[in-house]
Amino acid sequence: MADREAAKLRMISSRFIPGALVVVVGGCATLQPTVRVGEAMDAVEKQTGERPAWLAPWDEAPPAWDGSSVLGVEEAVTLALRNNRALRADLEMIGQADADLVQAGLLQNPRFNLMAMLPDGGGRAMLRSAGFPIQALQELWLIPSREKAAAAALQEAILRVADRAVETAGEVKRVYTGIRYGQRAIELIQANMEIVEQARRQIQTQQASGKATLVEVNVARIRFLRLQSELMGMEAEYRGLKRRLLMLMGFATANDAWSVTPVHEIDEIFERPPSEEAMLSVAEAGRLDLQAAGWALAGAERRIELMRREGWPEVAVGLTFERSPAPRSQNPTIAGRAGNALVEGLRGDVPELGRASAFEPESRDIEWTVGPMIDFELPIFDWNQAQVAKSLHEYRRQRAELEARRQEIAANVRGTAIMYQQSCEQVQFFREAILPEVERNLEVVRESYRAGREEVTIFLQVQEDVIMTRLNALAFVRDALVQRAELEREVGGRLTPVVGGGDGIVPAASRVAGE
C-alpha cells in the first residue's frame, strides 16, 4: 500500500515540478539602478557639459581652503553636482522607479492549500487540496501593461533628477555671480570711503582756517558713515552668498576663506544670445522637465489600458487532488502481527495469501483523485469602471499640465531674454556713454585743481562720482550674468544645442509615437 501511495506522489511531483520551475525562472528579474543613474548622468552632461560623479560617494571632508584660494565657477558646479545632499536624495527616486519596473514584471506567487479531515472513530485522515498549486492567469495580460506604465515612470524619474541637476547648476552660477559682484563692490565702496575720508579731512582743515563751515564738515562725515553702513550691508550679503554656495556644494560647515574669479565692470565680455525662435526651439528639445512631463503623460495613457485590463475576469488554474479516508486498523502493531502468527500455529493452518486471521488488520484501500481546477470571477458588479474613469481624468490632467508647462517655459524664455538684452544694453551704455563722460569730467577737474581753479573738495567729489558710476555699471554686469545663467536654465542648460553629443534620452513623444 505504501509503495502505491509513494508512486502516486512521485507521479504528481513529476508533473508539477517542471511547471513550477518555468514559473520561477520566468519570474526572475534584475535590478539595474546603476545603469539608470548612468542614463541621468548622460542627460546632465549633454545639457550642462558637466558629468556628475553620482556613482561615487559624496565628499565627507570639506576642501582645505585658505585665504588665497580662488574658487572657479566650473569647480563650484562640479562640487555641487557631486555633493549636494538634496540632489543625492533625489537620485534614490531612480532606484525606486527601477524597482517598480522590476516588480511590474513579476508573476504572482502560486498558492497552495492542503486540508486534512479526520474520520470519526479514528483511521487515516482524508486529504484534499483545492490547488496544487493554483496560479492566476490574469498576470499574462496585466504584466505587459504594468511594465509599460512602470517604464514610463522610470524614464520620468530619470529626467526629473537630471533636470534637478541642471537647475542646481544654474543656481550655483547665479549665486557665484552674486559673490563676484559683492567681491568687486566691496572694493569700490572701500575706495569710495577713502576718497570721502580724504575730503572730510581736507574740509576739516579748511574749517580750522575759517575757509569752510561746520556744516560742510558734518556733510562729509555723514557721507562717510552712510558708506560705512552700505559696506557693512554689502559684506553681510557677500558672506551670506558664500554660505549659500557652500551649502549648494555640500560643504555647509566649511569655512569661507576663499575668493572667486574677479569681475570687472569694464572688461567682462558678453555673448549675444541666439534669436528668440532659436532659443524656443532649443528649450522645446532640451528642457528635461518638459520631457519628463511627456513621459508622465505617456505613463498616464498606459495606466488607462492597465485599468481596463484589470477589469477583465480573474482566472486561476491549478491541480486538485483528494485522498479518501480509510477505517481504523484493528491491530496494526508488532504484537498484533505476532499474535496472528501464534494463532495460526496453534491451528496448524498454513497461512494463505490474502486470508485474514483473527488479529490481521482489515484491508485498507486508498483511492486518489487528481484533476485540474479553474477559479473564475464573474464581473457582474465591479469591472473596474471607476478606476478606468479615474485614469482617464489623470491622463487629461497630465496633458493639460504638459501644455501649461510648455506655455510657461516659452513665456520665461522670452521674458528672461528681454531682461538679459536690457542688462547687456545698459552695460554697453555705461561703457560707451556714461563712464567715458564722467572720466573726462574727472580729467577736467584734475587739470583745474592742479591749476588752482578748483578746490580739492570738488576734485574728490568728482572722483567719488566716478567710483559710484562704476558701481552702477557693475550692478548691470551682475544682472547680465545672472540673466544669462537664468536664460541657460530656461532653455535647458545651454543656449545652443549640442552637436554630436549623442542621442541621450529620447523625448517621450517620439517613443510613444513609435510604439
Spans in the chain with pLDDT lower than 50: 1-2, 4-27, 353-356, 499-515
- The predicted pLDDT at position 203 comes to 83
- The predicted pLDDT at position 115 comes to 81
Q: Same structural domain for residues 304 and 355?
A: no
Q: Same structural domain for residues 217 and 335?
A: no
Q: Same structural domain for residues 244 and 155?
A: yes
C-alpha cell at 249: 556644494
- H helix count then E strand count, the chain: 13, 6
Of 401, 433, 462, the domain-final residue? 401
- The predicted pLDDT at position 476 comes to 94
Q: Count the alpha carbons within 13 Å of 396 in the hemisphere toward its beta carbon.
A: 5
Q: Same structural domain for residues 346 and 236?
A: no
- The predicted pLDDT at position 200 comes to 85
340 in any annotated domain = yes
Q: Same structural domain for residues 196 and 261?
A: yes
178 in any annotated domain = yes
- The predicted pLDDT at position 23 comes to 41
Q: What CA–CA distances, in Å, run from 289 to 99, 120, 134, 156, 414? A: 22, 71, 45, 9, 18
Q: Same structural domain for residues 307 and 356?
A: no
172 in any annotated domain = yes
- The predicted pLDDT at position 337 comes to 62
Q: Same structural domain for residues 307 and 336?
A: no
237 in any annotated domain = yes
Give the start-end residues of each E strand in 337-402.
Answer: 368-376
Q: Same structural domain for residues 71 and 153?
A: yes
Q: Same structural domain for residues 257 and 151?
A: yes
Under a CB-based contact definition with an 8 Å cutoff, are residues 496 and 282 in contact? Answer: yes
List pLDDT tens digits, range 387-420.
Answer: 899 999 999 999 999 999 999 999 999 999 999 9
Residue-range definition of the domain harbouring residue 350? 330-361
Instruction: Give the predicted TM-score (pTM) of the model.
Output: 0.78
C-alpha cell at 508: 517621450
435 in any annotated domain = no
468 in any annotated domain = no
Question: Could you give the number of structural domains in the chain?
Answer: 2
Q: Same structural domain for residues 156 and 85?
A: yes
Q: Same structural domain for residues 217 and 353?
A: no
- The predicted pLDDT at position 299 comes to 93
- The predicted pLDDT at position 120 comes to 67
